[in-house]
Amino acid sequence: MLTHRIDALLDGVIKPTRYTGGEMNVALKPFTSGMVRFAFAFPDVYEVAMSHLGMKILYDIINRQPYALCERVCCPWVDMIDAMRAADVPLFTLESHTPVRDFDIVGFTLQYEMSYTNVLEMLSLAGISLRGADRGSGDPIVVAGGPCAFNPEPLHAFMDAFVIGDGEEATLDVIRAVAASRQAGEGRADCLRRLARLPGVYVPAFYVPTYGPNGLLSGFAATDASAPAVVQKRLVANLDDAPFPDAFVVPYTEIIHDRIMLEVLRGCTKGCRFCQAGMLYRPVRERAVDTLLAQAERLVAATGYEEISLSSLSTGDYSCLPALAQALMARFAPQRVSISLPSLRVDSEVAQALAETQRVKKTSLTFAPEAGTQRLRDVINKGITEEQLIQSARDAFAGGWSAMKLYFMIGLPTEDLVDLDGIADLAAKVTAEYFRLPKARRAPGLRVTCSASVFVPKPFTPFQWVAQDTVAVIEEKQRYLRRALDGIKGVTFHWHEPTLSFLEACFARGDRRMADVLQRAWTLGCRYDGWGEHFRYGAWMQAFADCGVSPADAHRARGQDELLPWAFIDAGVTQAYLLREYRQALAGQITPDCRLGCQGCGLQRLGVCAP
């Protein structure tokens, strides 16, 4: 049996519990005739995969269906990959240790562009042909979803289909279509035609791009009657009606987010111009307090976790946050279950919620000013003032916190050295609020962490047209900021590897030509690119050269009339709105929160956004 061969490898790898399965609350369903078998594939290590709420939701939804089963498969760590290849052990699922290639559907979630080589690694380990064109009738249908699927073109050659948008309903549609095709005895091409007819599903084999003499994309056309000219994203209209797990799988090993996660809302109304998620997940949809309390009751009982995280893009924007925090603490404080707020805005309602949640356990607070000056915050439409941030720091330190994280970006459009000085100035003002307190009132161990990620222009944002700073420019800005922050007591500085952000941009805005680069880099040994110790920038540059593709294309600005590789996808927000926001950014003009009045982003035409 395959399980015995897997067990023989575990003594030689770190963290064998990544591969054993058998955790609490796993779904174990027998493989019966007629049942559609779905392998949920996460292209990163187990600890990251098991922290992903989307996998928990879809795992539960699929396994509730009497005609389907879902099992999990994560990318093995590098030691296990090498051991599996040496022993000729194929990629297997956690629940039953069944080879992934024996499933009807393999579904990848694409959360981060730098996981793409892991997708190829997993397909290869599974014994599934990398390219969809090389797969036969006995091979699984390979699909992908998640935020990166909104520009599917760099992975077009490796996926049979992409699900664009919310997955709760669309995933079941895909499963039913594959089941119907198998029952009808259809071939692979007809199965893909069924998928292409589903709303929100893109089948790349049925489209052909054309390029002009300047090398730019000049056309993109469907080649099959089943394929729509425009693929419109899927949307779950009511989160209270959407299924949510009654239990989470509880790992035997510690994972990144080892706690209950409650999704309080989906979407964001702030309109930050750099934020892809804020555009993709519109409109805002909230869960009712009673719904969230009921979910928390069931999950605490089923898992034994002692922490509940209120999850969303911006939990501080949940309209019932103080009431929810008070209700959760009243119910769970006696059980010593803590509540954490991982993503915060800065205002009085958040302060009220924090006062509730600190009663059991204090955790580090996180705020995201993003830019060091008000001018640049206006450019990116970040609705936070320096006064608000300082007041929030003052309230937090007075309330007994001593650890705080401040998130910034460098390389933002129109940024100059004054904006970098502003980051250091803001950090100094935050720490001054701690030392302004009488010593007896300070919580010990001041830790203010300033993290500066590198701006990457992303599709479906107002900045999808802008140039990205070169690696050399970013490195110089990082050195400048390190010097500016040096010596501020209690402050530590974390920064991102600029070559990694450069490569992220290559895939974020890339077209179909990036598929060859990706496959070549994988053959050169690239995998786990998002993990610094495994990132091989030199191998990537060789892959670009070998494929005759210029990596400098990632940096360049896009023309406002240029055909973008993702233009055939309707993400809800219109191109006209994004272009208007881009122009307002360059003029330093802010756009109000759409909860204060419709800003005309385009969602009203879909009938999902109130006027």
pLDDT tens by residue, 173-194:
999 999 999 999 999 999 999 9
Dihedral angle, C-alpha 35, 36, 41, 46, nearest 10 °: -10
Closest CA to 26 of 67, 62, 72, 74: 72
Q: Which residues contact 104 (CB under 8 A, 6 or more apart)?
A: 36, 37, 38, 140, 141, 178, 179, 182
CB atoms near residue 274 (< 10 Å): 23
Residue 116 lies in a domain: yes
Residue 17 lies in a domain: yes
Residue 39 lies in a domain: yes
What pLDDT shows up at residue 364?
Answer: 64
d(CA 182, CA 175): 11
pTM above 0.75, yes or no: yes
What pLDDT shows up at residue 597?
Answer: 84
Dihedral angle, C-alpha 295, 296, 299, 305, nearest 10 °: 160
What pLDDT shows up at residue 360?
Answer: 47
Residue 16 is part of which domain span?
Answer: 2-224
d(CA 546, CA 99): 33
Domain count, the chain: 1
What pLDDT shows up at residue 352?
Answer: 57
Which CA distances in Å does 453 have to 268, 409, 478, 528, 585? 21, 5, 10, 19, 20
What pLDDT shows up at residue 204?
Answer: 98
Which CA distances in Å does 81 have to 45, 87, 188? 11, 10, 30
Residue 80 lies in a domain: yes
What pLDDT shows up at residue 68?
Answer: 96
Helix (H) or strand (E) holding 136: none
Residue 298 lies in a domain: no
What pLDDT shows up at residue 148?
Answer: 97
Place of tokens 């600029």: 498
Residue 171 lies in a domain: yes
Q: Which residues of the chain have pLDDT under 50?
A: 346, 348, 360
Residue 320 lies in a domain: no
Residue 514 lies in a domain: no
* Domain CATH number, residue 99: 3.40.50.280
